[in-house]
Amino acid sequence: MDSFPARILSITSFALADLQKTLTPYVQLDKSRIETLCLLVLGMISARTVNLTRIASERPTCAEVASTYRLLQRLFQHVILPDNWSVGIVMVLIGNPDRHC
Total structural domains within the chain = 1
pTM to 2 decimal places: 0.73
What integer is the mean pLDDT of 13-22? Answer: 87
Q: What is the mean pLDDT of the chain?
A: 80
User: How far is 92 from 49, CA to CA, in rounded Å?
Assistant: 25
Query: Which residue range(s) make up the domain with 20?
Result: 4-100
> Is 46 a residue whose pLDDT tops 90?
no
The better pLDDT of the pair 50, 90 is held by 50
43: how many CB neighbours lie within 10 A of its CB? 23
